[in-house]
A = this chain, B = another copy of it.
Amino acid sequence: MVTPKNIYLFTNPLYKDSFDPNSKSLLLKITSRDNPLTKQLHYVLQIEHIKSVGFEEENLTVSEFTKLQKDGIDFIPDTLSHLRIKKSHDEIQRIKSVCKLTDIVFEEFVKQTIEPGITEVNLATRLEKIALEKNASFSFPAIVAFGKNAAIPHHHSGETKLKKNDLILIDFGLKKDNYCSDMTRTFFIGKPTEEQKKAYAVVLESQQVAVQQCNNVTMKQSTSVSAKNIDKAVRDYITSHNFPTIPHSLGHGIGLEVHEAPSLSPHSEDKLTEGMVFSIEPGIYLPGKFGIRIEDLYTIQNGNLTKLTNSKSDLTVL
């Protein structure tokens, strides 16, 4: 809990020896059955004369919240979710670092031969092993989808076997130093069809539409970009080529969590501005046939849009 005077960390005795007792930046409070979190928290609020407390309503369960409530204290939801929307220089450095690692892991991954017959789960495991060797963990279970499974945007990798002339969609993110990455690539084993080639080109171009929209606005003059306008420009581009619109958001903020503010979506109220880090991930999904998605992370630094994931995204046939 952060108050005007102090930063408190409440924890149970199991974790107390993990902390430096000489820490000057935070006050450690050990909870127990006789002196539980609720009691200690209310005591701190009382002695610091605090009447209103913001909280992360997305990260507090009903069970936890029920215990915390008390007469005379006003718990205010939806106050904190946007506190992390702009990243500090140090945070951006960490995200850059995990993105660089993501590129390295992916490069090593595509160097290995991918044979028809391998399953989605096998391939996800192969990717995970490479990440493990680099001391990084996945920020979410990797999505590996073959052929028509790629038309399901959040496909759960399964026992489907790779066929000749199949397409592979891989969406994965790493976590290092508490910060997350997220990247998607779609590539071909054998020859893509004309329709696949066209869809791939449109997805790649539509990502550039978003990049141009960000750059068109002169961010150097501190003007921000409306996230929903970028989302719309990309959708319009895709549908103008007679493909269906994206069944998900164009993008999302990322940092300590894989999905956080801002949101690049049709009804978003967010403006993209200095210090934000977000994905741009257009996709075309043709149910029963195939799906193509290309996702990269970007940040706005010194008024410029900077790409953070730099794995090759031209149409690739392995």
Q: Which residues of A contact B (CB under 8 A)?
A: 13-15, 17-18, 33, 55, 57-63, 65-66, 77-78, 121, 125, 128-129, 132-133, 135, 137, 141, 151-156, 247-248, 267, 287
Which residue of B has the minimal Cβ distance to A135? B121
A33 to chain B, nearest CB (A): 7
Q: Give Cα A135 to B124, complex, Å.
A: 10
B62 and A152 form a contact (CB under 8 A): no
Residue A63 contacts which of B13, B58, B133 (CB distance < 8 angstroms)?
B58
Return the contact of A61 from the options B62, B153, B156 (Cβ within 8 A): B62
Listed A/B pairs (16) with beta-carbon separation below 8 Å: A14-B153, A17-B152, A18-B152, A18-B155, A55-B62, A57-B61, A57-B66, A58-B61, A58-B62, A59-B61, A60-B61, A60-B62, A62-B62, A62-B65, A128-B132, A129-B129
Q: Report B-chain residues with C-beta under 8 Å of the C-beta of A248.
A: 14
CB-defined contacts of A59 to chain B, threshold 8 Å? 61
Q: Are B13 and A247 in contact (CB under 8 A)?
A: yes
Complex contact A66–B60 (CB within 8 A): no
Query: Whole-angstrom distance from the CB of A35 to the nearest CB of chain B?
Result: 15
The answer to whether A267 touches B17 (Cβ under 8 A) is no
Contact status B62-A17, CB under 8 Å: no
Residues of B within 8 A of A128 (CB): 132
Chain B residue nearest to A266 (CB atoms) is B33
Query: Is B156 in contact with A267, judged by CB distance below 8 angstroms?
Result: no
A156 contacts across to B, CB distance below 8 A: 18
Is the beta-carbon distance between A33 and B152 smaller than 8 angstroms?
Answer: no
Residue picked from A33, A58, A62, most chain B C-beta under 10 Å: A62
Task: Please state if A267 and B61 are interface contacts (CB–CB under 8 Å).
Answer: no
Known A128-B132, A129-B129; contact A14-B57, beta-carbon cutoff 8 A: no
Contacts A15-B152, A62-B65 known; 14 new A-B pairs at CB < 8 A = A13-B247, A14-B152, A14-B153, A15-B154, A17-B152, A18-B152, A18-B155, A18-B156, A33-B267, A57-B61, A58-B62, A61-B62, A63-B77, A125-B135
